[in-house]
Amino acid sequence: MQELIDIYDRFTIADNKAEKQELFNKAEEFLSALTSPSSDEYHIWGLLYYFLNTNDRAKDLSIAMDKFSAAIECSKENFLARLYLAHCFHDLKIYQKAIENYLLVNAEKLTEFNLWRYVKLLEQVGYCYHQIHQEEKALKYFEKMAVYYRDENNPELLIEPMEIYDCLSQKHPLVILLKEWSE
């Protein structure tokens, strides 16, 4: 497993497209040789396709979704595989399925893993609700997200929320507060 993690880590930081493809191929060969991949191995396999960025994004996401689903099937506890499955639906603009999967992510484990990821999940759920014209539900999630940005001493929240700005007017009180808190 460590060899796979090392390959994946190098894949994620590779700037050169040829090097990235070579590392992808190496990981794909490694994973294809496994007779019974673990949940974590399927998860990494899904991440490889999620971050591959070929000209056929829909195909990459479809394969990633299959791998994330297999990871979840192996272990319902794999909250990151569930999160990335939700991201795939989100990226494909299948917002209701994205919401369903985001809401199945173990919030407690995600928060322990990385608070920013949890706060971003709240924003993404709000964004997806907004896209399917359920503005009240969207606002509820945006408000939950905004609470975390009030804590100025939280170094994990240095990345400013973005999707909320695509949904709400710049004059919306929540947007104004977020901008004030980020200054």
One-letter amino acid of 171: K
Predicted pLDDT of residue 155: 66
Predicted pLDDT of residue 156: 67
User: Shortest CA distance to 75 belongs to which of 100, 111, 43, 51?
Assistant: 43
Same domain, 63 and 122: no
Same domain, 26 and 72: yes
Flag whether the pTM goes above 0.85: yes
Give the chain's domain count: 2
Burial of 174 (0-12, 13-18, 19+ CB in 10 A): middle
pLDDT tens string, the chain, 183 residues long: the values are 899 999 999 999 999 999 999 999 999 999 999 999 999 999 999 999 999 988 899 999 999 999 999 999 999 999 999 999 999 999 999 999 999 999 999 999 999 999 999 999 999 999 999 999 999 999 999 999 988 887 656 666 767 788 999 999 999 999 998 888 777
Distance separating alpha carbons of residues 58 and 40, to the nearest angstrom? 23
Same domain, 76 and 164: no
User: Of 113, 128, 144, which residue sits at a domain end?
Assistant: 113
Same domain, 14 and 97: yes
Burial of 144 (0-12, 13-18, 19+ CB in 10 A): middle
Same domain, 127 and 59: no
pLDDT, one tens digit per residue, over 73-117 is: 999 999 999 999 999 999 999 999 999 999 999 999 999 999 999
Domain of 177 in residue numbering reads as 116-183
Same domain, 62 and 122: no
